[in-house]
């Protein structure tokens, strides 16, 4: 699996640094990509965060999100994906001379 970083474009929300995609390079999902990840500057300015693809819905007038990438059982869960995306973003910054 490869992580592709798409730098933010104009008209993005404040704090959004980039979008990210997971490109599958082997196995039954080869040739597919999972989109909807985003890299954000933390509100307190201390580090970065990754948001995952989610679907919004409303219950009783309250807006909620249903995260689409979830653990299937035992194992490290989504934290591994979060770290992969953050590392790919740091590599992207270094290559672009931003860091």
pLDDT at 10: 76
- pTM for the predicted model, two decimal places: 0.85
2-32 residue pLDDT tens: 999 998 777 888 889 999 999 999 999 999 9
Which range marks the domain in which residue 40 is found?
A: 2-96
Question: Alpha helices, DSSP H only, in the chain?
Answer: 79-96
Residue in 18, 87, 86 with CA at minimum distance from that of residue 48 = 86
Question: Looking at the 3D structure of the chain, how many domains does it have?
Answer: 1
Q: Which pLDDT score, from 0 to 100, does residue 44 have? A: 83
Do residues 69 and 51 touch, judged by C-beta distance below 8 A? no
In the chain, the N- to C-terminal Cα span, in Å, equals 24
pLDDT in tens, 27-68: 999 999 999 999 999 988 789 999 999 999 999 999 999 999
Q: Which of 11, 14, 13, 81 is nearest to 53 (CA)?
A: 81
């Amino acid at each position: 699996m490869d992580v592709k970083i798409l730098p933010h474009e104009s008209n993005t929300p404040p704090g959004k640094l980039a979008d990210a995609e997971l490109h599958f390079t082997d196995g039954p999902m080869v040739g597919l990509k999972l989109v909807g990840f985003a890299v954000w500057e933390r509100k307190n300015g201390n580090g970065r965060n990754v948001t995952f693809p989610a679907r919004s819905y409303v219950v009783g007038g309250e807006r909620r999100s249903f995260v689409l990438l979830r653990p299937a059982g035992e194992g490290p869960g989504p934290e591994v994906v979060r770290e992969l995306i953050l590392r790919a973003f740091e590599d992207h910054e270094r290559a672009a001379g931003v860091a």
